[in-house]
Amino acid sequence: MMTDPLADMLTRIRNASKAKFKNVKIPSSNLKVSVAKIFKEEGYIKNIKVINDNKQGVLVIYLKYDKSGDGIFTGIKRISKPGCRVYYKRDKIPKVLNGLGINVLSTPKGVLSDKKARQLNVGGELLCSVW
């Protein structure tokens, strides 16, 4: 049994990006799909696709690279972990590299980027940071 599926997803994306893979396949869940949609909205990945295999499903993430062939992900880090949850109030949400990166939060209004959470004036659990 895997104890932290989101950390596994972030590690697979980090490793695939460094190895310059076109895509990465991950066991699907609603949380992983929500986080991947935020990465797509913010421009960190090209596209996502959920394949139904009559089991858990497979999430395929198509990675994005710059003109020199380097991955868009400079850094990707899991913040809130199963053993140590990290929560922020709406006015205390930190910025990543002075706004150059994003935080992904799980809020009462769903999984949101830090910018969207500030606009909707909600706080929540800080899942991960990307820059």
> What is the crossing angle of helices 30-41 and 5-18, to 10°?
40
pLDDT digits (tens, 9 = 90+) for 71-123: 898 999 999 999 999 999 999 999 999 989 999 999 999 999 999 999 999 99
pLDDT given at position 38: 97
Confirm if 84 and 105 have CB atoms less than 8 A apart: no
Whether the per-residue pLDDT at 2 is higher than 80: the answer is no
pLDDT given at position 89: 96
Confirm if 38 and 102 have CB atoms less than 8 A apart: yes
Domain coordinates of the chain in residue numbers? 5-63, 76-130
Burial of 83 (0-12, 13-18, 19+ CB in 10 A): exposed
Q: What is the pTM of this model?
A: 0.92
Query: Rounded to whole angstroms, how far apart are CA atoms 30 and 112?
Result: 13
The CATH topology of domain 76-130 is: Dna Ligase; domain 1 (3.30.1490)
pLDDT given at position 69: 87
For the domain with range 5-63, which CATH number is right: 3.40.640.10, 3.30.1370.30, 3.40.50.20, 1.10.1510.10?
A: 3.30.1370.30
pLDDT digits (tens, 9 = 90+) for 15-45: 999 999 999 999 999 999 999 999 999 999 9
Sheet containing strand 58-63, edge to edge, reads 23-27, 58-63, 45-51
pLDDT given at position 1: 62
> How high does pLDDT run on average in the chain?
95
Query: Rounded to whole angstroms, how far apart are CA atoms 51 and 34?
Result: 15
Confirm if 130 and 104 have CB atoms less than 8 A apart: yes
